[in-house]
Amino acid sequence: MPRAAHETRTDIERAICAEMDRQKVPHEHRTLHYRVRMRSGREAKYEPAIVARRGDVLFLIEPCTAVGAAAQFKRFLATHSPEIVFVVVASPRVAAKLPPESYDELYEEKNVPRLVERIRAQDPSGAVLLFPKRR
């Protein structure tokens, strides 16, 4: 699959993209489209900012600049398949306030290199590695 253009919208997304390029991790920007049923019953469009594929495992990486996005993240996670790893990258202030139900993996923006290393380390045909969540 050809890689989408590197159109980034936030400084965090630019940093993730640059690190993925540096570590030679293929990725795409906003190439997948989902609908998320919100608590109100309405459907919201959702396009993950960055998509990285490792065999059967799909990493959806979302820069998060506000805690308010957690509601949509939680609703998305309630219906996603086990082959999807939903990763949130945020500032320390925002990361500290995100509930564990709003992500599979959470990284502070200073840990972007560790995130990319983790994606590279994922066995394309293996089980998803466990990630300890904050409680």
pLDDT in tens, 40-99: 889 989 999 999 999 989 999 999 999 999 989 999 998 877 779 999 999 999 999 999
pLDDT in tens, 3-42: 445 678 899 999 999 999 999 999 999 999 999 888 888 9
Q: Is 83 helix (H, G, I), strand (E, B) or coil?
A: coil
Domain that holds residue 21: 11-121
Give domain status of residue 133, yes or no: no
Give domain status of residue 126, yes or no: no
Question: Can you give the CATH number for the domain in which 63 is found?
Answer: 3.40.1350.10
Nearest by Cα to 32 from 70, 75, 65, 62: 62
Give domain status of residue 3, yes or no: no
Q: How many CA atoms lie within 13 A of 75 on its CB side?
A: 17
Give domain status of residue 105, yes or no: yes
Report, in this order, helix, strand and coil percent for the chain, each rounded to 5. 30, 25, 45
Give domain status of residue 4, yes or no: no
Give domain status of residue 104, yes or no: yes
> Does residue 3 or residue 134 have the better pLDDT?
134
How many domains does the chain fold into?
A: 1
Give domain status of residue 21, yes or no: yes
Question: Which pLDDT value is given to residue 44?
Answer: 87
